[in-house]
Structure 1
Amino acid sequence: MKKRGFTLVEIMIVVAIIALLAAIAIPNLLRARITANESAAQATLRTISTALETYAAANNGAYPEAEGTLTSPTPPYLNRAYSGATVQGYTYTYSTLTTTAYCVQAAPSSTASGTKTFHVSQGGVLADGAC
């Protein structure tokens, strides 16, 4: 008579192998998501900076004093408002927005969404850290 099925030891070995693979794969996936969020934050800051610099070029070198000035014209300089918004795990804040200077900051909304804070200032200078 042949035995059919798996023994308890065989099933436990398979479960242990799956757990080991998950322990290796999950942190790598989380790191990849954080890296993608950080890249998206830098790209969004570049977009905001380009809008501010384009506005200044069209207005005798003066930056807008409110983000609404960038979203209200037709066509708009920015397609959406970013101030206080969370996009892909990063929250955007205009630390400085005057006719002569600007500084926009992107900070992770949680430790699971990113580890670095970025900012962009007049001239399109993108750097790590807060404004």
Structure 2
Amino acid sequence: MNLKKQKGFSLIELLIVVAIIGIIAAIAVPNLMAARRSANDASAQQTLRNINSANATYESGVGRGNFANTLAALGGTGSTDFGMIDDTVVNATQTPKSGFILQQYGATVKNSTTASTYSVRNHPSQSTGIARTGNRSFFINETGVIRTSNAPNAQATSTSEPIGN
């Protein structure tokens, strides 16, 4: 009787490899999600810096001391738009940009006793669960100081803590 020598992997060996891959994935996926949220937070802060810079340019130029009354006035390519911010930022009030939605942009016109003001908030589009897109909410106004709220589902305001940079 001539038996052929069998070649290949046994079922046990394959199960061990699958278990090892599962353990590595269980360790890596949460870290990947945390890194993604941190990147989204950084993008949200930079978006607010860009809006602040565009508004300062607008105020000192065509605004004649007033900030833009809408985000659309700062962006776009139309004849009345100035193209200082990207359309993805302008549209971030409806469509999230890097997991964040812009909320409550508003500007006031200067008068004889007060200067023009503006404010805007950036909030994670998904703020709870494993699929959350950011760690905190951000706020900026004409002072240029970005403020944040670290409490879950809390909105950052003008009285929130500055981010520290």
Q: Which has the higher helix share?
A: 1
Residue pair 1:63, 1:102 contacting (<8 A) in 2 also = yes
Residue pair 1:67, 1:83 contacting (<8 A) in 2 also = no
- The runs of 5 or more residues in structure 1 that have no matched partner are none
1:91 to 2:111 alignment: no
How many residue pairs get aligned? The number is 131
Output the amino acid matched with 1:122: E
Q: Which residue of 1 aligns with 2:19?
A: 16
Moved over 3 A (4+): 72-75
Map of 1:1-131 to 2, 5 A cutoff? 1=3, 2-58=5-61, 59-71=63-75, 73=80, 75-80=82-87, 81-82=90-91, 84-85=93-94, 86-99=96-109, 100-111=116-127, 112-129=132-149, 130-131=156-157
Partners of 1:67 and 1:95 in 2: CA distance: 7
With structure 1 as the length reference, what TM-score do the two structures score?
0.87
- The runs of 5 or more residues in structure 2 that have no matched partner are 110-115, 150-155, 158-165
Output the amino acid matched with 2:36: R
Give per-residue Cα distances to partners, 1:54-88, cap 9 Å, x unaligned: 11112343212223332354643323224513111
Residue pair 1:101, 1:121 contacting (<8 A) in 2 also = yes
With structure 2 as the length reference, what TM-score do the two structures score?
0.70
For residue 89 of structure 1, report the CA deviation from its aligned partner: 0.7
Residue pair 1:53, 1:124 contacting (<8 A) in 2 also = no
What RMSD, in angstroms, separates the aligned Cα atoms of the two structures?
1.9
